Amino acid sequence: MTGIAYGSLLAIFSALTYDYFGMKNAGINYGWVFSSFAVAGVVGPLTAGHIVDLTKSYNGAYLFVAALLAVSAIMVQFLKPPGETKDISIS
């Protein structure tokens, strides 16, 4: 399951980036997305390992990641679909 999820993320990152930000600066935008993915791949395990070292248990690391996932889920609720703009005209 992890392999399937990991592979699908790499496949849809570019499509979602282009849908949300357009093709004008696609290379730069996708570069930022992929770079943040790489930074998370380094910082995440180091942070989890540090939490395990401090607490002598994996529970703290799992709770920390669960909190980050909850924050992410809340942030996604405020994300507007591609092409949707806010109408501020006064009628």
pLDDT of residue 2: 72
- Does residue 90 lie within any of the structural domains? no
**Number of structural domains, the chain?**
1
Find the mean pLDDT for residues 11-29: 84
Q: How far are the Cα atoms of 67, 69, 77, 88 from residue 73, in angstroms, in the given order?
A: 10, 6, 7, 27
Split at pLDDT 50, 70, 90, the class of 85 is low
Alpha helices, DSSP H only, in the chain?
A: 2-21, 26-55, 59-77
Find the mean pLDDT for residues 68-79: 90
Query: Residue 47: which residues within 8 A CB-CB, separation 6 or more?
Result: 61, 64
What are 28-65's pLDDT values in tens digits? 888 898 898 899 999 999 999 999 999 999 999 999 99
| Model confidence, pTM | 0.66
- Does residue 84 lie within any of the structural domains? no
Distance of alpha carbon 27 from alpha carbon 65, whole angstroms: 30
> Domain span at residue 50?
2-77
